[in-house]
Protein backbone atom coordinates (compact mmCIF):
# COMPACT_ATOMS: atom_id res chain seq x y z
CA UNK A 1 0.00 0.00 0.00
CA UNK A 2 1.20 3.52 -0.76
CA UNK A 3 -0.47 6.52 0.88
CA UNK A 4 0.08 10.21 0.18
CA UNK A 5 -0.50 12.67 3.02
CA UNK A 6 -0.47 16.44 2.75
CA UNK A 7 1.22 16.95 6.12
CA UNK A 8 0.08 20.11 7.88
CA UNK A 9 2.38 22.56 9.63
CA UNK A 10 3.14 21.55 13.22
CA UNK A 11 2.66 17.79 12.75
CA UNK A 12 5.43 15.36 13.75
CA UNK A 13 6.49 12.68 11.23
CA UNK A 14 5.82 9.86 13.70
CA UNK A 15 2.73 8.11 15.00
CA UNK A 16 3.15 8.73 18.75
CA UNK A 17 4.35 11.55 20.95
CA UNK A 18 4.57 11.49 24.72
CA UNK A 19 4.20 15.29 24.85
CA UNK A 20 0.78 15.11 23.17
CA UNK A 21 1.74 16.99 20.00
CA UNK A 22 -0.03 16.28 16.72
CA UNK A 23 1.35 13.26 14.85
CA UNK A 24 0.66 11.24 11.71
CA UNK A 25 -1.87 9.21 13.73
CA UNK A 26 -4.15 12.28 13.71
CA UNK A 27 -4.42 12.07 9.90
CA UNK A 28 -3.49 8.59 8.62
CA UNK A 29 -6.14 5.90 9.18
CA UNK A 30 -4.40 3.16 7.19
CA UNK A 31 -2.71 0.63 9.48
CA UNK A 32 0.82 -0.74 9.17
CA UNK A 33 2.24 2.07 7.04
CA UNK A 34 5.40 4.00 7.79
CA UNK A 35 6.79 7.26 6.44
CA UNK A 36 9.17 6.97 3.50
CA UNK A 37 11.31 9.93 4.51
CA UNK A 38 10.55 12.86 6.77
CA UNK A 39 9.27 16.39 6.79
CA UNK A 40 10.21 18.67 9.67
CA UNK A 41 7.61 19.72 12.23
CA UNK A 42 7.52 23.20 10.67
CA UNK A 43 7.35 21.99 7.04
CA UNK A 44 4.23 21.06 5.09
CA UNK A 45 3.26 19.05 2.06
CA UNK A 46 3.69 15.66 0.47
CA UNK A 47 4.67 12.75 2.68
CA UNK A 48 4.52 9.19 1.34
CA UNK A 49 3.77 6.26 3.64
CA UNK A 50 3.94 2.57 2.77
CA UNK A 51 3.80 -0.91 4.25
CA UNK A 52 6.46 -2.13 1.76
CA UNK A 53 9.98 -1.97 3.23
CA UNK A 54 11.70 -2.18 -0.17
CA UNK A 55 9.59 0.67 -1.55
CA UNK A 56 10.10 2.70 1.62
CA UNK A 57 13.87 2.32 1.26
CA UNK A 58 13.79 3.22 -2.45
CA UNK A 59 11.74 6.37 -1.84
CA UNK A 60 13.69 7.57 1.21
CA UNK A 61 17.30 6.53 0.71
CA UNK A 62 19.39 9.40 -0.75
CA UNK A 63 21.48 6.98 -2.84
CA UNK A 64 18.43 6.48 -5.11
CA UNK A 65 18.39 10.25 -5.75
CA UNK A 66 14.60 10.66 -5.89
CA UNK A 67 13.98 14.29 -6.87
CA UNK A 68 12.08 16.19 -4.20
CA UNK A 69 10.47 19.47 -5.20
CA UNK A 70 9.55 22.22 -2.74
CA UNK A 71 7.80 25.55 -3.01
CA UNK A 72 9.45 27.92 -0.59
CA UNK A 73 8.43 31.34 0.69
CA UNK A 74 11.59 33.30 1.45
CA UNK A 75 12.26 36.61 3.10
CA UNK A 76 13.91 39.07 0.76
CA UNK A 77 14.15 39.55 -2.99
CA UNK A 78 15.99 36.73 -4.78
CA UNK A 79 18.64 37.88 -7.21
CA UNK A 80 19.80 35.87 -10.20
CA UNK A 81 23.14 35.52 -8.39
CA UNK A 82 21.45 33.93 -5.36
CA UNK A 83 19.47 31.55 -7.59
CA UNK A 84 22.63 30.60 -9.47
CA UNK A 85 24.37 29.78 -6.18
CA UNK A 86 21.50 27.44 -5.28
CA UNK A 87 21.70 25.85 -8.74
CA UNK A 88 25.44 25.22 -8.44
CA UNK A 89 25.18 24.02 -4.83
CA UNK A 90 26.17 25.87 -1.68
CA UNK A 91 28.59 24.98 1.08
CA UNK A 92 26.88 24.15 4.36
CA UNK A 93 28.49 23.24 7.69
CA UNK A 94 28.26 19.54 6.71
CA UNK A 95 29.83 20.10 3.28
CA UNK A 96 28.78 21.23 -0.21
CA UNK A 97 25.32 20.39 -1.51
CA UNK A 98 24.65 18.85 -4.87
CA UNK A 99 23.43 21.23 -7.58
CA UNK A 100 19.71 21.99 -7.22
CA UNK A 101 16.91 23.24 -9.40
CA UNK A 102 15.98 26.78 -8.31
CA UNK A 103 13.58 29.24 -9.91
CA UNK A 104 11.57 32.27 -8.90
CA UNK A 105 7.82 31.58 -9.14
CA UNK A 106 4.54 33.35 -8.43
CA UNK A 107 2.75 32.44 -5.23
CA UNK A 108 1.04 29.10 -6.03
CA UNK A 109 -2.69 29.45 -6.76
CA UNK A 110 -3.35 26.12 -5.00
CA UNK A 111 -1.87 27.29 -1.69
CA UNK A 112 -3.92 26.76 1.47
CA UNK A 113 -3.82 29.11 4.48
CA UNK A 114 -1.30 28.09 7.10
CA UNK A 115 -2.27 27.79 10.76
CA UNK A 116 -0.66 29.74 12.35
CA UNK A 117 -0.14 32.25 9.55
CA UNK A 118 3.36 33.17 8.38
CA UNK A 119 4.53 36.40 10.01
CA UNK A 120 4.08 39.42 7.78
CA UNK A 121 6.37 42.46 7.80
CA UNK A 122 5.45 45.48 5.68
CA UNK A 123 9.06 46.61 5.36
CA UNK A 124 10.55 43.28 4.27
CA UNK A 125 9.59 41.79 0.89
CA UNK A 126 9.05 38.09 0.40
CA UNK A 127 9.10 35.84 -2.65
CA UNK A 128 8.39 32.25 -3.72
CA UNK A 129 10.92 29.79 -5.11
CA UNK A 130 10.64 26.28 -6.49
CA UNK A 131 13.63 24.21 -5.39
CA UNK A 132 14.35 20.62 -6.48
CA UNK A 133 16.89 18.49 -4.60
CA UNK A 134 18.28 15.02 -5.19
CA UNK A 135 19.65 14.62 -1.69
CA UNK A 136 18.01 14.91 1.69
CA UNK A 137 20.04 16.42 4.49
CA UNK A 138 18.48 17.64 7.70
CA UNK A 139 16.69 20.96 7.11
CA UNK A 140 18.60 21.30 3.83
CA UNK A 141 16.30 23.69 1.95
CA UNK A 142 16.16 26.07 4.92
CA UNK A 143 19.93 25.99 5.32
CA UNK A 144 20.51 26.51 1.58
CA UNK A 145 18.21 29.53 1.32
CA UNK A 146 19.76 31.04 4.48
CA UNK A 147 23.23 30.54 2.97
CA UNK A 148 22.28 32.82 0.06
CA UNK A 149 20.64 35.45 2.30
CA UNK A 150 17.01 34.35 1.84
CA UNK A 151 15.64 32.92 5.11
CA UNK A 152 12.78 30.44 4.61
CA UNK A 153 9.40 31.55 5.96
CA UNK A 154 7.28 28.65 4.65
CA UNK A 155 8.29 25.32 3.12
CA UNK A 156 5.95 22.97 1.25
CA UNK A 157 7.03 19.76 -0.50
CA UNK A 158 4.97 19.45 -3.67
CA UNK A 159 6.53 16.34 -5.23
CA UNK A 160 8.66 13.26 -4.60
CA UNK A 161 9.78 11.77 -7.91
CA UNK A 162 6.60 11.31 -9.97
CA UNK A 163 4.27 11.67 -6.97
CA UNK A 164 2.64 15.08 -6.52
CA UNK A 165 0.21 16.76 -4.13
CA UNK A 166 -2.28 17.11 -7.04
CA UNK A 167 -5.01 18.95 -5.16
CA UNK A 168 -4.67 17.02 -1.90
CA UNK A 169 -5.87 19.39 0.85
CA UNK A 170 -3.82 19.97 3.97
CA UNK A 171 -4.36 17.03 6.35
CA UNK A 172 -5.91 14.76 3.71
CA UNK A 173 -4.64 11.38 2.55
CA UNK A 174 -4.99 9.52 -0.74
CA UNK A 175 -4.20 5.86 -1.47
CA UNK A 176 -1.96 5.73 -4.53
CA UNK A 177 -1.43 3.02 -7.12
CA UNK A 178 0.78 0.66 -5.13
CA UNK A 179 1.23 -1.70 -8.11
CA UNK A 180 2.82 1.09 -10.16
CA UNK A 181 5.06 2.06 -7.25
CA UNK A 182 6.01 -1.55 -6.61
CA UNK A 183 6.92 -2.10 -10.26
CA UNK A 184 9.10 1.02 -10.24
CA UNK A 185 10.82 0.03 -7.00
CA UNK A 186 11.84 -3.36 -8.38
CA UNK A 187 13.10 -2.26 -11.81
CA UNK A 188 16.51 -3.59 -12.65
CA UNK A 189 19.12 -0.87 -13.13
CA UNK A 190 20.17 -0.21 -16.68
CA UNK A 191 23.42 -1.75 -17.81
CA UNK A 192 26.25 0.73 -17.78
CA UNK A 193 28.89 0.67 -20.48
**Active site positions, annotated:** 40
Query: For residue 7, with 0-12 CB atoms within 10 Å meaning exposed, 13-18 middle and 19 or more buried, which class applies?
Result: buried
Q: How far apart are CA 59 and CA 185, in angstroms?
A: 8
Q: CB 144: neighbour CB atoms within 10 A?
A: 23
Choose among 152, 133, 129, 130: nearest CA to 90. 133
Sequence-distant (6+) residues with CB within 8 A of 165 are 4, 6, 45, 46, 110, 158, 159
125, 10 in Cβ contact below 8 A? no
DSSP assignment letter at 70: E
Amino acid sequence: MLVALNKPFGVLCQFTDEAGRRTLADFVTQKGVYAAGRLDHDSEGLLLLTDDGVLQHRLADPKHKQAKTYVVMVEGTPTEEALEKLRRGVVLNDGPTLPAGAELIDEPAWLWPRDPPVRFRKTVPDAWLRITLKEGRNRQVRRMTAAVGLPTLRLIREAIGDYRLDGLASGETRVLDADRAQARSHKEPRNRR
